[in-house]
């Protein structure tokens, strides 16, 4: 398949959609990003890389980081985790308080903010130096060393993260949080602030297209069954209250972040990442979704 040509076509065809969304501004440090950025990269299981646009520029990965921390938690305690966090699509915004109250402090899934905070609480049972270990894990998956936290973004989020503070306090009152709240929020804001490019993101999730095996070294990241489940969670919960529409339009497991990034996985084929900072009102990248929709339409590659 001529991926190079397909990416070039997509890059042309998404142009009319600039201006339809808005750059996230509830995290002040994210508001300054140039809305016209657009990058895309895909890596195949044969280790071929195709890219276009701003594919090597780093941006704030935000909630895409929830995939990495969930993966690390699954490596530690697979069964126990699911007693504390659910597995159903939320149908609600990623920071919904109402739903958490109805469900008595058990988050619907690990990709809404409340769920990601519980995942970090679980990780803190196992990691000695969580921030360093999370960063090392991401670097190892991406195959590069120069991936860092963006401390300005982490600080900005911490200063304005009142809803996340409310979510975690509420879960604590239901005894679903065991470590100090400040410590968990600190790890959460740092993991969200990680800056990566489309090329790095696509490389980092290629193991999910390879049944849990890292491509180069054949190192096992997750058991095949766990990788299948992680893909299932991405498909059903990766886009919050737009997960159904993403599955309908694109048809692959994926994860978005309010930095405008999206990573998608096509099992046994490839991993793909796209970045465009303008978001729709679900907090997902407008052009990112459009680009992936065009990609699966043009290539016929999807899980359906
Ligand atoms: N750091 C963001 C927050 O907690 C992550 C949200 C997202 O990317 N959907 O609000």
pLDDT (tens digit per residue) in 79-129: 889 999 999 999 888 899 999 999 999 999 999 999 999 999 999 999 999
228 within domain boundaries: yes
Taking the centre of ligand 1 as the mean of its atom positions, its distance from the CA of residue 47, in whole angstroms, is: 31
Specify the pLDDT at position 91: 87
Helix (H, G, I), strand (E, B) or coil at 88: coil
Pocket test for ligand 1, best of 195, 258, 259, 261 (most atoms within 8 A of CB): 258
Average pLDDT over residues 127-153: 97
pLDDT at position 92: 87
Domain count, the chain: 1
Q: In angstroms, rounded to a whole number, what is the distance separating the alpha carbons of residues 45 and 3?
A: 14
CB within 8 Å of 214: residues ≥ 6 apart: 141, 206, 207, 220, 221
pLDDT of residue 21: 96
Considering the chain, what is the average pLDDT of its residues? Answer: 96
Contact 187, 209 (CB under 8 A): no
- Res 146 pLDDT > 90: yes
292 is in which domain, residue-wise? 3-299
**Three-state SS at 16:** helix
Measured in Å, residue 300 CA sits from the centre of ligand 1 at 31
Whether residue 283 has its Cβ less than 6 Å from ligand 1: yes
pLDDT at 263 over 90: yes
pLDDT digits (tens, 9 = 90+) for 209-241: 999 999 777 899 999 999 999 999 999 999 999
Report whether residue 113 contacts ligand 1, using a CB cutoff of 6 Å. Answer: yes
Supply the pTM of this predicted model.
0.97
304 found inside a domain: no
Q: Give pLDDT, residue 231.
A: 98
The burial class, CB within 10 Å (0-12 / 13-18 / 19+), for 216 is exposed
Residue 31: inside a domain, yes or no? yes
Q: Is residue 213 part of a domain?
A: yes
Are the CB atoms for 266 and 303 separated by under 8 Å? yes
- Rounded to the nearest angstrom, the distance between the alpha carbon of 121 and the centre of ligand 1 is 17
Q: Is the CB of 94 under 6 A from ligand 1?
A: yes
Gap from CA of 256 to ligand 1 centroid (Å):
10
For residue 242 and ligand 1, the question of a CB distance below 6 A is answered with no
Q: Confidence class of residue 24 from pLDDT cuts 50, 70 and 90? A: very high
What's the CATH number where 193 sits? Answer: 3.40.710.10
Whether 287 contacts 278, CB under 8 Å:
yes
């Amino acid at each position: 398949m001529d991926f190079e040509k397909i990416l070039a076509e997509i890059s042309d065809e998404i142009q009319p959609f600039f201006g339809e969304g808005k750059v996230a501004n509830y995290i002040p440090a994210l508001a300054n990003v140039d809305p016209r950025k657009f990058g895309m990269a895909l890596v195949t299981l044969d280790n071929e890389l195709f890219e276009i646009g701003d594919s090597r520029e780093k941006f704030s990965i935000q909630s895409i980081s929830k995939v990495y921390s969930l993966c690390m938690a699954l490596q530690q305690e697979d069964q126990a985790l699911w007693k504390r966090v659910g597995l159903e699509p939320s149908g609600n915004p990623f920071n919904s308080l109402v739903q958490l109250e109805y469900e008595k402090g058990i988050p619907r899934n690990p990709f809404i903010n409340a769920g990601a905070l519980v995942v970090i609480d679980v990780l803190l049972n196992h990691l000695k130096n969580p921030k360093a270990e999370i960063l090392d894990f991401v670097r190892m998956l991406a195959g590069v060393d120069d991936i860092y936290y963006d401390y300005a973004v982490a600080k900005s989020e911490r200063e304005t993260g009142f809803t996340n503070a409310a979510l975690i306090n509420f879960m604590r009152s239901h005894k679903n949080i065991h470590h100090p709240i400040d410590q968990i929020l600190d790890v959460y804001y740092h993991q969200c602030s990680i800056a990566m490019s489309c090329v790095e993101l696509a490389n980092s999730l290629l193991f999910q297209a390879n049944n849990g095996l890292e491509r180069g070294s054949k190192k096992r990241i997750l058991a095949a069954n766990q990788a299948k489940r992680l893909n299932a969670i991405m498909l059903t919960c990766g886009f919050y209250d737009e997960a159904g529409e993403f599955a309908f339009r694109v048809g692959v497991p994926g994860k978005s972040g309010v930095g405008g990034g999206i990573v998608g996985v096509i099992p046994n084929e490839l991993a793909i990442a796209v970045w465009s900072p303008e978001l729709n009102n679900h907090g997902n990248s407008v052009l990112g979704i459009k680009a992936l929709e065009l990609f699966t339409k043009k290539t016929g590659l999807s899980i359906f």
